Structure 1
Amino acid sequence: MVSRRTIPVTGIWLAGLTSGVMALLGLDLVLVCGVLGVWIGSLFLVTSTPPENQTAKRNKRLSMSSMRELVENSSTPVLVTEKGNIAIANRSARKLLGTHIGGQDARVVFRQPAAIKLLGKKKGGQALVRGLVRRQDVWRINRQVIDEELAVIELINQNAEADVSRAHTDFVANASHELRTPLASIIGYVETLSESGENFDTPMSQKFLGTIEREAKRMQHLISDLMSLSRVEAEKHDLPDKNLELAPLVERAARDAAGAERTDWLEFELAEKPIVQGDQQQLEQVIRNLVDNAFKYGHDDTYVRVRLDNSRPGEARITVSDTGDGIPSEHVPHLTRRFYRTDPSRSRASGGTGLGLAIVKHIVERHRGRLDIQSTEGVGTRVIVRLPQVDPEAEAKDAAPAFRPTS
């Protein structure tokens, strides 16, 4: 049965009108009726079942429109190719690859041998591509074939995994190098002493023993810093919740770092008494590392200044300053990297491990603070730690139960 909306009304009227004219002209009535029947039948035959290719095209357009709406706001770059050309590119894909990619050959868009090989496969698959947008970028391309013409391409960012892997490799290499140096010294001097017999009272023996002790302590400090850094990184997502009064903590940790022989060269300015939420051991470690660095790299017989104040409302600021040679500006952005040294020989001679500021940075980040390093050559260096303050009265007010008068 043909539905009303598919009845070719206009065609039927035209056929009837034409047949009437033919009858008026005196044509045979049987012939006229036959022409009318064939005409109307052909109209029903054409309109009742649209061509399959038209239906397929209409369905494909609807499908593509729905697919475009579905993937447009996805945070993952998604592309749909039709016969190898980009038919759909969602917002993330356009931001990554450019707004001009619509209609282009996918092979031209990617321009990577691994990606081109994947696009040429009849079945889906995945490929790892480097340098897709920037030189160090790493992306995994997932391709799923829908039919002979359509395929969906998904781009997965692998930069974070690559950075972690690279950092791990660099860390192991640097740690191995740092441990190898004192171990080689210890082994060499021990072997020399062993060959010299039992007499350790000679000046050379005493010198060797002093070197062994120094290198062993250096290795001990390095291992201790490595363990500290590992613990801080493991806890970096856990926000401390203990309220600490910062002034006595800063003064105590600074004096511990200076030791009895250097404590007279400490200069304090603890004008404020802010309270912060923090881990006491880690914050003390921050102060010890900064004060120790200031004494190591400042000039002899000059003061190390430790200041505590409020840089702005709700923020405590700790500043540790030295008077030294300063640090060239090109080195400052890299100072918090593991094992980074501006002067390796001087750092090792002073017992530095190259991990102190890396530990400080991770502790400050765990406390939702900020670390700034300012240095001027020939003048000195200032390291500033900013931490969010806590208002105990406001906390107590929030924690107190609401007062409800009894009836």
Structure 2
Amino acid sequence: MSANETPTGSGTSLAARLAAAQGVLLAGAIVLAGAVVAGGLSVAVALLIGAGLLVGALIPARRRPVARALARFGTAETTLSAPAPVDSRLGALVQALPEAALLLDPRGTVLVANAEAARTVASVRVGDPVSFAVRVPEVLEAVRSASADGEPRRVEFAERVPLDRWLQASVVPIRFGPAGERRKPDATLLVLRDLTQQRRVEQMRVDFIANASHELRTPLASLSGFIETLQGPARNDTPARERFLKIMGEQARRMSRLIDDLLSLSRIEMTAHMRPEAEVDLVAVVNHVRDALAPLALERGVAIAFVPPAGPVMARGDRDELIRVFENLVENALKYGGAGEEVTVTLVRDGGEAIVGVRDYGPGIAPEHLPRLTERFYRVDTAHSREQGGTGLGLAIVKHIVARHRGRLVIESRPGEGATFSVRLSARFPKDEKTEVSSAA
């Protein structure tokens, strides 16, 4: 043992300890000297404080109370943040799962997170507690309970931030020992399944049935009331009978239009996966629509303006369905675009696509309504739509027909500036082919 070491120094010399603490001792000496000079501290007290600092510097670091506490804290933190090793085969299995999956240790620390989990829960990180990523009390309680008693759980919950979505959490405890052994799980598998699309489809089905029932119930109630009146008080009232029969005819036609639209929508949905193979001239289709709706335009005092291109524009499609698309769009423009104005139909080329646009100069549509215009039975103004004889299914039919033709429907509108409905379809322009053939000749 050297002269500079002590038995209790655990191999650390006094000189080394003093050298390590020289900065603290020097600062303490300066402060104490300043206090004595200023008269705020007596020399005897200053010497006692200085002796205490010197003794503290000589105590080995591992025996200092604060150092021991910090060491314990650091050890505990390291233990919590370091996840247990995971068998590579188990990790690969979790990574291969098609749904978001997290493998947790018994304390709820994330051991493995697959790629889908990173997309579903953006804040998930291996080594963090699962509560850092999933902040749903019901899910965290299910994880704790499953880790305690080994029973699987299933929880459904909704999130509003950052997106409005529904998720299902399946918590499955895992034991690595024999199958019949009853002990606490070695790990927990948390699988998150996105139910958002399923819930939206269910809600759309409920809304569709409710809206269809309502749309049919109103004219049926009207017909029943008029029939009872004609059978009773108005039995011999000829003027009233004529008036009632006219209204009954309108209500019957309204129900007929609704049923026709429902059947059309059903047929289109059944063949949505089958793209039409025939070729249709879009110029001829638009001309047919303009001629068919000319009487309605004349009745409302609105002109339908259409300047056709020089040659045909051929697109793969079903002629009757495309006529239905442009009839619905032009008819909507005539009904809701404001009387006394003009409805402009354009057919222009954009690369390999043809764009058919229908523009009105009416009051326009508020921005909050635009994303929902193609929903079934959605109306900006319900009362006005019913006055015009609308069923609330026209734009839904347009959207489904355009989707079947592998096209796109674009809606642009600003309040007070009218609205433009554009249909983009892949098309062929025979005029260009004739030009190329002539040039080659």
Same fold (TM over 0.5): yes
RMSD after superposition: 2.8
The answer to whether residue 221 in structure 2 is matched with residue 193 in structure 1 is no
Q: What is the identity, as a one-letter code, of the residue corresponding to 1:143? A: V
Partner of 2:78: none
The alpha carbon displacement at 1:165 in A equals 0.4
1:164 matched residue in structure 2: 201
Residue in 2 aligned with 1:102? 126
Task: Calculate percent identity across the aligned residue pairs.
Answer: 35
Deviation of residue 330 (structure 1)?
A: 2.9
1:314-350 CA distance string (max 9 Å, x none)? 1111111223222233323322122122221111111
Q: CA deviation at 1:124?
A: 4.8
Q: CA deviation at 1:140?
A: 2.4
1:211-250 to 2 correspondences below 5 Å: 211-250=247-286
Alignment partner, residue 291 of structure 2: 255
Q: In 1, Cα distance between the equivalents of 2:233 and 2:115?
A: 75
CA contact (8 A) 2:360 2:418 kept: yes
Q: Does 1:290 align with 2:326?
A: no
Tell me how far 1:238 sits from its aligned partner: 1.7
Shift of 1:261: 6.8
Say whether residues 1:326 and 2:353 are aligned partners: no
The AA in structure 2 aligned to 1:300 is A
Instruction: Give runs of aligned pairs for residues 17-96 of structure 1, distance below 5 A.
Output: 61=85, 63-72=86-95, 74-85=97-108, 86-96=110-120
Q: How many pairs were matched up?
A: 333
Q: Give the TM-score, by structure 2 length.
A: 0.68
Distance in structure 2 (CA, Å) of the matches to 1:107 and 1:376: 45
Question: How big is the shift at 1:213?
Answer: 1.2
Q: Per-residue deviation at 1:168?
A: 0.5
Distance 1:257 1:225, change over 3 A: farther
Deviates more, 1:314-323 or 1:264-273: 264-273
Q: Which residue of 2 aligns with 1:25?
A: none
1:98 partner SS: coil
CA deviation vs aligned residue, 1:279-327 (integer Å, no higher than 9, x gap)? 22211100110111111113334332222221x1111111112232222
Change (3 A) 1:109 1:284: same
Distance 1:145 1:166 in 2: 33
User: What is the distance in 2 between the residues matched to 1:306 and 1:133?
Assistant: 42
CA distance in 1, matches of 2:136, 2:371: 34
Offset at residue 153 of structure 1 (A): 2.2
Alignment of 1:281 onto 2:320: yes
The counterpart of 1:346, out of the listed 361, 377, 384, is 384
8 Å contact 1:96–1:133 — kept in the other structure?
Answer: no
C-alpha distance in structure 2 between counterparts of 1:393 and 1:145, whole Å: 68
What's the secondary structure of 2:197's corresponding residue?
helix
By how many angstroms is 1:260 displaced? 7.1
DSSP 3-state at the match of 1:386:
strand
Secondary structure of the 2:348 match is: strand
**The residue matched to 1:325 in structure 2 has which SS?**
coil
Contact 1:84/1:106 (8 A) holds in 2: no
Question: What's the CA shift for 1:220?
Answer: 1.1
- 1:315 pairs with 2:353: yes
Give the match for residue 169 of structure 2. Answer: 141
Does 1:359 find its partner at 2:386?
A: no
Residue 419 of structure 2 aligns to a residue whose secondary structure is strand
| Cα pair distance change 1:258/1:118, threshold 3 Å | farther
SS in 1 for 2:425: strand
- Matches of 1:326 and 1:223 in 2, distance apart? 29
Distance across 2 between alignment mates of 1:383 and 1:168: 26
Letter of the 1:125 partner, please give it. Answer: P
**In 1: Cα distance, 2:379 partner to 2:124 partner:** 46
Aligned residue for 2:68? Answer: none
Letter in 2 for 1:141: A
| Partners of 1:328 and 1:156 in 2: CA distance | 36
Q: Contact 2:123/2:133 (CA < 8 Å) preserved in 1?
A: no
Paired with 2:404 and 2:380, the residues of 1 have a C-alpha distance of: 26
1:182 equivalent among 209, 219, 234: 219
Letter in 2 for 1:296: K
Q: Could you state the TM-score of these two structures normalised by the residue count of structure 1?
A: 0.74
Instruction: Specify whether residues 137 and 302 from structure 1 end up closer, same or farther in structure 2 by C-alpha distance, changes over 3 A only.
Output: closer
Q: How many angstroms apart in 2 are the aligned matches of 1:280 and 1:238? A: 15
